[in-house]
Amino acid sequence: MATNKTQLLMTVSQESISSVFNDEAQESDIAIAAYYRAQDSEFVPVNKLQDWLIAEQEENTI
């Protein structure tokens, strides 16, 4: 039987892992949205950061 300390560590570990996967999924979604924005502007290099920031802002408002 697990002790309270062990249970707490397991819970924290699971939450940390969940957070990492959620962050990676969100970053992937932002990258895809930024790619499509860049594609729409015919991949103009000066818009790379702007495309990313807009995609990131849109993802955070969902």
pLDDT digits (tens, 9 = 90+) for 46-58: 888 999 999 999 9
3-state secondary structure of 2: coil
pLDDT of residue 18: 67
Q: For residue 8, what are the CA distances in angstroms to 12, 15, 35?
A: 6, 11, 41
Contact 22, 8 (CB under 8 A): no
pLDDT in tens, 2-44: 567 666 666 666 666 666 667 888 899 999 999 999 999 888 8
- Burial, 60: exposed, middle or buried (Cβ in 10 Å; 0-12, 13-18, 19+)? exposed
